[in-house]
Amino acid sequence: MRVEFGDLRLDEAAKENLLDCIAKNWISGGPKVKQFEEEWGNLFGYKHNFAVYSGTGGDIGACMALYDLGAQRGDEIIAPALAFAAVGEAILQAGFKPVFVDVEKETLNIDPKIIEQKITPRTRAILVAHTMGKPCEMDSIMEIARKHNLIVIEDSCEAHGAKYKGKFIGNWGDMAVFSFYIAHLICCGEGGMISTNNERIAQILSSVRSHGRKGGQLYFDHERLGSNLKMNDMEAAVGLSEVKKFWWTFDTRKKNLIYLLYKMKDLQKYAYFNLEGSNDVVCAHGFTVTMKDPKYNCAALYRFLEDNSIKCKRNFGSMPTQHKAFAFLGHKLGEFPESEYIGDHGLHFGVHQFLSLDDLDYISEKMHEYFKRFE
């Protein structure tokens, strides 16, 4: 593929960090993980940070922390119907019931206007996802959460460095989860982070991440349900070099996104793109295309771009109604029309920091070539 969704290129700092791990015979979670947590938190002002094995593991850990905050097994967590499958998987694996809410077609994010309709006496949290790096409408979501005494978890896996109303994503809710997979702005190969500014939640997460251990002198003393969610020092060794150049990565990706939006402004009559609003700063995770009319045939565009060496991915789709994995929950096609429409008529491709200007021009050229058939 000429245009992949992401790319990892280990610099000398990463190689030196990895060699240091080998020289010290310390591969499991240790000093590199601790340093990575500190430097990550310093980027955005997160007080407490817990490196984990993946963004999915981060969502699982954040959900499991709810038991210490009054939740019971089988309670409900509100989540967007359209998001990466890890959102629904984490809720279920942590022992809760996902209650799905439809999204807005233009933003791909949970629709705050209908969240309150889904709240019941068993609702314990709202898990929002800043899809494709576009911040959710956090002031409205936080107002609903505080009104109903609910915890807010921000799945920020695709939104490193994004802002809503001048405040970094991850500083709005009670917990935030990030991913360091290759497609994301910081890459450890695999890996994730749970961040919080709440001291009590931080104490819970510290235990949940390591099998619910209590700590102290009695090592095998498990006071709560947890799991082995820890990151290892090899992954942190790579992440440390990525943290140091984060703003270069962020700015480069953002310039790529802005450039493509400019080059393809005339194509906005055919599709919704991931535009930045007056209240937000978008993280350039990828470039999203959602057809404004099914006649523009997203499946054909997918095949066309792939045939021309531009790697594409579906715009996730509706977890409860378009993915067999969630069929046991009993939802029926038509319950989440916006999410289902996006799943049928949307795709995205990469804008990562290693793409050249020629690559970006090539993407624009191919997009124009495809849509020309509808003129």
Strand order in the sheet with 346-349: 271-273, 287-291, 346-349, 313-314
In this structure, the answer to whether residues 262 and 334 fall within a common structural domain is: yes
Q: If you average pLDDT over residues 92-118, what whole number do you get? A: 98
Is 4 part of a structural domain of the chain? no
Shared domain check, 256 and 166: no
Tell me if 348 is assigned to some domain: yes
Is the pLDDT at 218 greater than 80? The verdict is no
pLDDT at 118: 98
**Looking at the DSSP assignment, which residues form a beta bridge with residue 230?**
52
Q: Residue 66: pLDDT band by 50, 70, 90 thresholds? A: very high
Instruction: Report how far residue 166's alpha carbon sits from residue 280's, in angstroms, rounded to the nearest whole number.
Output: 7
What pLDDT does residue 219 have? Answer: 75
Closest of 77, 56, 57 to residue 66, by C-alpha: 77
Total structural domains within the chain = 2
Q: What is the pLDDT of residues 286-306, one digit of tens each?
A: 999 999 999 999 999 999 999
| Domain-embedded: residue 6 | no
Query: How is residue 237 written in tokens?
Result: 């060794």
Please tell me which residue, 338 or 219, carries the higher pLDDT value.
Answer: 338
CATH number for the domain spanning 299: value is 3.90.1150.10
- Residue 239 has phi, psi (to 5 degrees) of -60, -35
Q: Does residue 189 or residue 66 have the better pLDDT?
A: 66
**CA–CA gap between residue 244 and residue 101 (Å, rounded):** 37
Q: For the purposes of burial, counting CB atoms within 10 Å of the CB of 12, is it exposed (0-12), middle (13-18) or buried (19 or more)? A: exposed
Q: How far apart are CA 175 and CA 97, in angstroms?
A: 19
pLDDT band at 25 (very low <50, low <70, confident <90, very high): confident
- How far, in Å, CA of 152 to CA of 78, rounded? 10
Query: CATH no. for residue 87?
Result: 3.40.640.10
Task: For residue 329, tell me if it sits in a domain.
Answer: yes
User: Do 322 and 344 belong to one domain?
Assistant: yes
Please count the other Cβ atoms lying within 10 Å of the Cβ belonging to residue 329: 15
Query: Has residue 112 been placed in a domain?
Result: yes
Give which of 51, 39, 42, 17 is closest to 238, Cα–Cα. 17
d(C-alpha 91, C-alpha 326), whole Å: 12
In this structure, are 40 and 59 located in the same domain? yes
The reply to whether 192 and 335 lie within a common domain is: no
Element (H, E) at 281: strand 280-281
72 has pLDDT over 70: yes
Q: How many CA atoms lie within 13 A of 145 on its CB side?
A: 23
Q: Which of 209, 244, 279 is the last residue of a domain?
A: 244
Estimate the crossing angle of helix 246-263 against helix 233-244, to 10 degrees.
Answer: 60
User: Is 7 within a domain?
Assistant: no
At residue 217, the pLDDT reads: 58
Collect all residues with Cβ–Cβ distance below 8 Å to 278 and sequence separation of at least 6. none
Query: Which residue carries 């990895």 as its tokens?
Result: 18
> Do 195 and 287 share a structural domain?
no
CB atoms within 10 A of CB 70: 10
Co-location of 258 and 356 in the same domain: yes
Final residue belonging to a domain, choices 244, 276, 294:
244
Asked whether 59 and 153 are in contact (CB, 8 A), the reply is yes
CA atoms of 154 and 195, how far apart (whole Å): 10
Instruction: Specify the DSSP element, H or E, that contains 150.
Output: none
- Tokens 């749970």 label which residue? 194
Q: Within this chain, do residues 236 and 258 fall inside the same structural domain, yes or no?
A: no
Q: CA angle 284-290-293, nearest 5°? A: 160
Q: Answer yes or no: are the C-beta atoms of 317 and 97 closer than 8 Å.
A: no
What percentage of the chain carries pLDDT values higher than 90? Answer: 95
Amino acid at site 183:
A
**Same domain, yes or no: 179 and 193:** yes
Whether 216 shows a pLDDT value over 80: the answer reads: no
Residue bearing tokens 């960090």: 17
Tell me whether residue 290 is in a domain.
Answer: yes
Kindly report the backbone phi and psi dihedral angles of residue 98, in degrees, each rounded to the nearest multiple of 5, phi listed first: -75, 130
Q: What is the pLDDT of residue 29?
A: 85
Both tokens of residue 335? Answer: 């319950």
Domain that includes residue 361, residue range? 246-374
Q: Given pLDDT bands bounded at 50, 70 and 90, which one contains residue 102? A: very high
2 falls within a domain: no
Same domain membership, residue 282 and residue 188 = no
* Same domain as 263, residue 234: no
* Cα–Cα distance measured from residue 83 to residue 319, given in angstroms and rounded to the nearest whole number: 7
Shared-domain flag, residues 146 and 282: no
Q: What DSSP assignment string belongs to 246-276? A: HHHHHHHHHHHHHHHHHHTGGGGGTEEE---
**Last residue within a domain, chosen from 214, 244, 274:** 244
Reduced to 3 states (helix: H, G, I; strand: E, B; else coil), residue 352 is: coil
Q: Taking all residues of the chain, what is their mean pLDDT, rounded to a whole number? A: 96
Query: How does pLDDT run across 108-155, given as a tens digit for each residue?
Result: 999 999 999 999 999 999 999 999 999 999 999 999 999 999 999 999
